[in-house]
A and B are shown apart, each in its own frame.
Chain A
Amino acid sequence: SAVISQKPSRDICQRGTSLTIQCQVDSQVTMMFWYRQQPGQSLTLIATANQGSEATYESGFVIDKFPISRPNLTFSTLTVSNMSPEDSSIYLCSVDLSNDIQYFGAGTRLSVL
């Protein structure tokens, strides 16, 4: 299994500002994932982040809005840029330890006013 530390756990932000979410893993992993989960909804994949390459974004998500960094095999950040109330959601990172199982961080609960 993996221990994943995600922070902040929650934040309240003003419209037009940006928030960077950090995800730290206790072991080296090739693939890290960022999801959005709106209240009562499923997990929607934002992007896949591999170390040493640009993140791969899913349809409906763009790099200008959700820039991702992956500087090494244990760390990644997701920035939610120029926020609006529609960005209020839970953001989760996860990793795949090469056994297809997703291990999730505890999530960041974001509220945009």
Chain B
Amino acid sequence: GENVEQHPSTLSVQEGDSAVIKCTYSDSASNYFPWYKQELGKRPQLIIDIRSNVGEKKDQRIAVTLNKTAKHFSLHITETQPEDSAVYFCAALGATGGSYIPTFGRGTSLIVHP
């Protein structure tokens, strides 16, 4: 099955700095890579995603890059703000028994200091 590694587990930055979270996956057949943000006590919510036919995608201050050859993808947050503080999960979607099931990374706790 798919295996997703996520680093770092904790990331502490100053407000206004950039933050980068990296994930690697093992299944070359995986073709969809979402990122979820989970604020304390809340449900995970999708913030950005990328499919395997695209190398980069941006949405305002966040961007995701994908390197299919190396099987890694990254989340980039620029001009971080205190409200960006949360746990971020990457995931890779691959076929399992005919269904597409996401495999999640272990999460990165991002702390943005004002």
Contact = CB atoms under 8 A, between A and B. Distances in A.
Interface of A: 31, 33, 41-43, 45, 48, 56, 92, 96, 100-102, 104-107
A92 B43 contact: yes
A101 B49 contact: yes
Contacts of B91: 102
A104 B107 contact: no
A65 B104 CA distance: 23
Contact of A42 (B93, B97, B104): B104
Which 6 pairs show the lowest CB-CB distances between chains A and B? A104-B43, A42-B106, A43-B104, A100-B32, A42-B104, A42-B107
Given A56-B97, A100-B100, 6 more contacts: A43-B44, A45-B102, A48-B99, A48-B101, A100-B34, A102-B46
Contacts of A102: 34, 36, 44, 46, 91, 102
Interface of B: 32, 34, 36, 42-46, 49, 89, 91, 93, 97, 99-102, 104-107
21 contacts: A31-B99, A42-B105, A42-B106, A42-B107, A43-B104, A45-B102, A48-B101, A56-B97, A96-B100, A100-B32, A100-B34, A101-B34, A101-B46, A102-B44, A102-B46, A102-B91, A104-B43, A104-B44, A104-B45, A106-B42, A106-B43
Contacts of A42: 89, 104-107
Contacts of A31: 99
Contacts of B106: 41-42
